[in-house]
Structure 1
């Protein structure tokens, strides 16, 4: 979870990741909507506008234009509507927008794309990735809810937010059980549509289930 007490300079030094993203400018309200929704659906985060991917400070030219596009993203292009905290930070002579998004208690939030499609996005490392379903306690049957609330599954989903995939052996090490037991749990989660299996045998990989 993001520590909002960190200074903007500390966040820039950390670099982009699960809870931090840089943008030179808000070039598209649709793209920013994806970022905002993915932060809200995962662990919260900070979006810094006026910072390049290489961490250099480029600043923003028009605060009003950036805020107008941000307002459209929050108010029109994310469902349910998101409330974000936005403040201006001066780094030398450059003006930066710091946008903070809490992990939402009302997830999932959908980002609306240019075609009008409603898509759920989550964070995976430093990217906002689409998923066809965000499984939440209380949403499925009793057995699925019990699985989602278990520590092994929570550890797995947290791992997959940081990494693209996991093997059966790595999962067994992650939750400290036998490979056989870990494999059985992964298969159960796959059958319930919570994760996606790619490949077969010992080379099988499991990842968040993405939209094709």
Structure 2
């Protein structure tokens, strides 16, 4: 296949090194791009996490198939600019390996989260990268992202907030429902406390065995 409007980088070794890593938290293989809305979910997931890259023209087993046409460039641009909210900027570089073209797409972590994309029902969702999958982030985590985090601000938390923090510390990881039941809180109050403690960096979300859990931030020492 001839790529007329793009100059390819001939660096087979580099592409093979990336493929050797396999799919992981910061890398995904795409055999082809046929739906801008779907690829927007990958951009959302990487942008909401720590960034990452797509290798387009690579099968799930790591074999190089090559991209099919220049249209895949434009579909990725469309995914980032039209089907991500807010619009994202991605970089694309074309590599040639044994006469086949691989498109390397790099996504930077978002300056402002959440970055949203549409699901199959055209509902806007926030996605997050977990291992080699793009997972829909829970609405509570999306609200945490939207909450303004104050850096270097001294604060005091209430007795109820302290009780929640101590409960999570003792249990290592819990669900929101665990907090509601054990601390005798309504869902609304529990959510507001979790958002506050997460925005202060005291609690954080983790994904384990198909569940979103809350845990204390190990890097923060309680005073």
Aligned to 1:102: 108
TM-score, normalisation: structure 1: 0.66
How much does 1:143 deviate?
7.7
Q: Is the 8 A contact 2:126 2:137 kept in 1?
A: yes
TM-score, normalisation: structure 2: 0.63
Report 1:47-86 matches (<5 A): 47-63=54-70, 65-86=71-92
Please tell me whether residue 120 in structure 1 is matched to residue 130 in structure 2.
no
1:126-163 CA-to-partner distances (Å, cap 9, x unmatched) read 0000012333384489789xxxxxxxx9xxxxxxxxxx
Cα distance in 2 for residues equivalent to 1:98 and 1:80: 22
Q: Work out which of the residue numbers 116, 133, 145 in structure 2 matches 1:136.
A: 145
Q: Is the 8 A contact 1:46 1:98 kept in 2?
A: yes
Q: What's the C-alpha RMSD, in Å, of the aligned pairs? A: 3.3
Aligned to 1:208: 212
Q: Which runs of 5 or more residues in structure 2 are unaligned?
A: 1-12, 158-164, 180-193, 196-203, 214-223
How much does 1:53 deviate?
0.2
Aligned to 2:39: 32
Aligned to 1:167: none
Aligned to 2:173: 186
Residues 39 and 143 (structure 1), Cα distance of their counterparts in 2 relative to 1, 3 Å cut:
farther
Q: What is the DSSP-based 3-state SS (H/G/I as helix, E as strand, rest coil) of the residue aligned with 1:18? A: coil
Cα distance in 2 for residues equivalent to 1:38 and 1:103: 9
Cα distance in 1 for residues equivalent to 2:210 and 2:67: 40
Greater mean deviation of Cα atoms: 82-91 or 180-189: 180-189
Greater mean deviation of Cα atoms: 97-106 or 110-119: 110-119
Q: Is the 8 A contact 1:195 1:207 kept in 2?
A: no
Greater mean deviation of Cα atoms: 187-196 or 35-44: 187-196
Please tell me whether residue 21 in structure 1 is matched to residue 28 in structure 2.
yes
Cα distance in 1 for residues equivalent to 2:156 and 2:212: 20
How many residues are aligned here? 163
